[in-house]
Each structure stands twice: as structure tokens, then as C-alpha cells.
Amino acid sequence: MSDNGKSCCGPGYASPQEAIQAEREKLLYTVALYTGTGIERPDYLATVDVDPQSPTYSQVIHRLEMPNIGDELHHSGWNACSSCHHDAGKSRQYLILPGVRSSRLHFVDTATDPRAPTLHKVVEGDDVKSKTDLSGPHTVHCLGPDIIISMLGDAKGEGPGGFLHLNEDFEIVGRWENDLAGMNFNYDFWYQPRHNVMVSSEWGAPNTFMPGFDLDDVAAGKYGHSIHFWDFEGKKIDKSVDLGEEGMIPLEVRFHHNPDSTHGFVAATLSSNVFHWHKNGAGWEVEKVIDIDPIELEGWPFPVPSLITDILVSMDDKYIYFSNWLHGDLRQYDISDPSNPKMTGQVWLGGLLDKAPEVNGTKVAGAPQMIQLSLDGKRLYVTTSLFSTWDNQFYPDMKDKGACMIQVDCDTENGGMSINPNFFVDFGKEPHGPSRCHEMRYPGGDCTSDIWI
């Protein structure tokens, strides 16, 4: 690994490490949910074959069920990431699957048999709540030998939440932060150790978002509109930036992968804007760089926002991709100049605007939501479920039809996107009935989990 952490990014996979990574990119793990579908089955981890040369290409080849019903598996993360590349004793063996509703933490062994992962350990939600007064686990990041998880609420489901600290044996150490002053809610986070900074964002308290979306809750101040720059070593907020009405519900935060860079992006979901941040001589500066207009739609009492629900930065830091879950499109922007992104690609699938109701011959229930990008930047994978109660509100047919996974091919030289006609995973045809697929992970690490020191 080079000092700037970029050696795995280029095409060709010249090094032995890159060759191993290329082999690992033949599989993709995605959480799949029965929570909220009416089917009394546990959520599960699906292994999807994404190798075009494989006879089981574009199929779910294994399903690992969790021990309990109603977890609402949502996001996931690894026990080790690129911050551990100097430690030969560390490997991405365990994928951590939090249950947002149950607060359980599931630790899955993916190394013994990558095609058929097994459950290694479960930490019960009651233990998390009693030992830390936290609930609603969301984002998981490796922290050298340890692990931290953003928690969206206290034990009773109210804000502001905090951060759970686990050791390498997956035991609860306690709370990670020393001080929460300035934080109203919690959601996602990313850290950049060379600059002693962590950035976190705000959704809302579990008691607010779990029953479903209520516009009155926005007016009542129950959803966030700030991002926070942390003193990483001091474990406390150094600066909070209120994004105001143009930055309602900032969700996914993404730094450049280059650990020397201070540039990063956050998408404000409800306001449908993208903000760029970086550090200058006066400190951290935040600016709006992308603005997507709402659209008038028959039957809606107000213009429909695009609802940006996921965003990622390509491993070479050249492009950002994000999904508009209500409008139904995916976008690619060149961020060579981070303050002036240029849109270079767009595809439509699903969505309320009905611009592409079918993909590869199948009607899409939902719209582009979670995204994951191959390390060479050429394959963007997309799933269509957001959160069970929100799915049931905005795309009620997903309950009976299930969600799906789609591959979008990306031009990394000139920009551009196109839906791959040979790849479609229909989670509406699962053995126990239609399910919803959400976040995806490559076995060897990916664009949304790797952090270099």
C-alpha cells in the first residue's frame, strides 16, 4: 500500500494484493429484510455472485439468516479496514451487521468460506442499552484494533444518540465520545486521521423515523440539519455547521479516500442538495455545490424532492455518485474540482416520476437507493429499499414485489452511465417470499468502508 492509500485504485491489479482484491470482487454481500413485509422470517445476509464468468452470475448463492425476527438489518461494516493495512495480524474476516430496530450486533465470519458466511457471535440489544444507554446502531467503522458504531438514540429511542466502542473481541467497551455538546441527532460518520477530524451527520431519533415519515416532524424540529467536525483525538465536537433549510436531513458523509485530502461531501436528503467541505486557513468551510429542484406531481400536496439517500466517492476521488430515491435517477459527477462538480452521467430506474418503470424487463418496486462501486470504478451496484416503514409509505408495492439489485456500467475516462442488461437480482422471488435488499459490501473492502491512515 502506498503512503497515500491509492495503490489499489488503478486498473490492472498489478500487485498480489490487488489480484486478491480482484478475486474478492466476484462476490457481493447485501443485507436482505423481511422486517416490515408481513413475512415472519428473520432478516438475512445474501451472497450475490457478481462474476460474469460464473454459471451462477447475477444470482443469490447463499442466505445466512439471523437468529431473531425483526432486527431491520440496515448498514454494515468490517472489523478491519485499510487503516489496519500495516498490521499483518488484521484481516477483514468479520462483517458486522447491526439491527437498527433490535439494537443487536451480529458478527459474521466471511473468511472461512466467502461464498457461505457463518454467524460468529451476537451481542444482544439489551446489553448495548444497559451498558451504554444507546440504541439504533447504524454506521460501523474500524478504528485500528477497535470498532466504533454510530448510535441513533438513547436506550429509550430518543436523541441525540452517540457512538458505541467495541474492542477487537467484539466486547462492549462503552461509549466512544467524551462529549456530545452541539449534537442534536446522529447518523453517519467518516474520519480522516491525518487531520485529526471526524465528520458526523444527523437523521433523527429512532422514535421519530421508525414509525415512518411525517412532514409535521420536520416542522417540529425532529429531524437534523447540521454536520459536525470533531476533534478526533479529543473525541468531542470542535465545530458544528447548521446547513439550515437547504440542508435538511444530511445523511451519508464521504471524505476523499486520499488521507492527505480535507475534501468531502454530504448529501442533504430532504432538501436534495449536496454540500462540499474542506479545510482552509480559517478552518472548515462548507458550501452547497449541487442543487436538485423538486418536481410537481399529481396527487402530492407539495413539489416532490428528489430525496438523495446515498452518495459515494470513487476510489480515485474523481467522481461522486448519488441516488435520488423519489425521482428515480442515479447521477455521476466529475469532482476533479470539488467546488464545481460537473454532471457526467445519469440513468433512470423505478421512482415516482415513472421515467423507467421497468429495468431488464422487470417492473421496479422502489427506486435507486443504496449504491456500491467496484474499486476500478466501472461497476456501480444499486439496491432499491430505503427503510421498511418508509418503503411501505412511498412504494407500497415493494411489500409484495420485493426489492432488486441492478448493475450500472460506468465510463471512468469520459464519464457516462448505462444499465447492464445482463445483471438483475430479483429479491421478489426469494424462497420464503419477497424481501428487501439494502446495503452492499465486497468481501475485501469497498469504496464506502475503506479509510487510510
pLDDT in tens, 254-305: 999 999 999 999 999 999 999 999 999 889 999 999 999 999 999 898 899 9
Which residues lie closer than 8 Å to 391 by C-beta, 6 or more apart? 36, 366, 385, 398, 399, 403, 436
Q: What is the model's pLDDT at position 4? A: 42
Helical spans, DSSP H, in 171-271: 206-209, 215-219
Mean pLDDT of the chain: 92
CA 42/CA 25 separation, integer angstroms: 27
Residues of the chain with pLDDT under 70: 1-23, 81-90
- pTM as predicted: 0.94
Question: How, if at all, do strands 27-33 and 44-49 pair?
Answer: antiparallel
Closest by CA position to 351, among listed 317, 397, 419: 397
Which three cell numbers mark 79?
Answer: 472489523
d(CA 78, CA 374): 17
Cell 465486497 locates to 442
| Cell 444482544 sits on residue | 124
Q: How far apart are CA 163 and CA 150, in angstroms?
A: 5
* Residue 80: per-residue pLDDT: 79
d(CA 434, CA 392): 13
Q: How far apart are CA 69 and CA 104, in angstroms?
A: 11
Which residues, 6+ apart, have CB-to-CB distance to 107 below 8 Å?
79, 94, 95, 96, 97, 119, 120, 121, 122, 123, 170
User: String of b and e for 33-69 (b: at least 16 CB within 10 Å)?
Assistant: bbbbbeeebbbbbbbbbbeeeeeeebebebbbebeee
The whole-number pLDDT of residue 14 equals 43
For each of the domains in the chain, give its residue range(s) and CATH number, in order of start.
Answer: 16-441 (2.130.10.10)
